[in-house]
Copies of this chain bind each other. A is one copy, B any other.
Amino acid sequence: MKSPGTRAAYHHGNLVEELIAATIALIEEKGVDAVSVREAAKRAGVSPAAPFRHFANKTALMTAVAEQAMGRLTLSVQQELEATGDADPVEGLRAIARGYLAWALANPTHFEVIASRTLIDFHGSPKLTGETEAIRLVMLDLIARGQAGGRISPALDPDALMLSARAFIYGLCRMWIDGHFTEWHVEKPAGQAMAEAVDLFIDMIGGRQATGRAGA
């Protein structure tokens, strides 16, 4: 990257990526709200004003972080989706839900950044809107194939079903990052409870009323 061992150059070289990395580290350590561009700049060994050469404002920096995180989220979903094959559309929906939930549970702070509409400029990022839309289209296709194959009742309106599924999984993830499970009073751990809820929801879509596959 730059001459090693000697002093750092006046021009940093790849400040952009280093700032993103520093911000991510900052998020992991002290939480999303504790992020400041000054601190990120300090960690990158640069003046407080330097970041503003590369990011118009704090929101732009956080949006860059969100874009990187979104890449990993969609990857998680795709991997889960490919692992199940495309034999049964309902199982495809289940795979998406699981991949999405699993990533959110494993990366709560990053999910918080992606889901936020105050920290980032979601609609100003083609990557964020594009990948969100892509998942939406995959789900819509699965629903259509499920109804064509008799696996999902054709009486269910695809758009309403789509919205229900999105709201359900998004709500589950947000309940988690919003701390709705901190005093979880049920016996089983929150993660398992969520997994069971996902299976119940998918089973309801598939017409079944609770099969035995709720655990893992």
Listed in ascending order, the chain A residues whose CB lies under 8 Å from chain B are 33, 115-118, 122-123, 129, 153, 155-157, 159-161, 163-164, 166-172, 174-175, 178-180, 182-183, 186, 193-194, 196-197, 199-201, 204-205, 207, 209-210, 214
Contacts and interface: CB of A to CB of B under 8 A. Distances in A.
A193 B153 contact: no
Contact of A160 (B122, B174, B179, B197): B197
Protomer copies: 2
Contacts of A118: 33
Nearest to A136: B185
A116 B169 CA distance: 18
A194 B157 CA distance: 12
Contacts of A196: 157, 159-160, 163
B179 A172 contact: no
18 contacts: A155-B210, A156-B210, A157-B196, A157-B200, A159-B186, A161-B200, A163-B193, A163-B197, A164-B201, A167-B172, A167-B197, A168-B171, A168-B201, A170-B175, A170-B180, A171-B172, A171-B174, A204-B204
A186 B214 CA distance: 34
Contacts of A170: 171, 174-175, 180
A86 to B, nearest CB: 24
A210 B178 contact: no
Contacts of A123: 179, 182-183
A133 B60 CA distance: 39
Given A116-B178, A163-B172, A168-B201, 9 more contacts: A155-B210, A156-B209, A156-B210, A159-B186, A163-B194, A167-B171, A168-B168, A169-B171, A170-B171
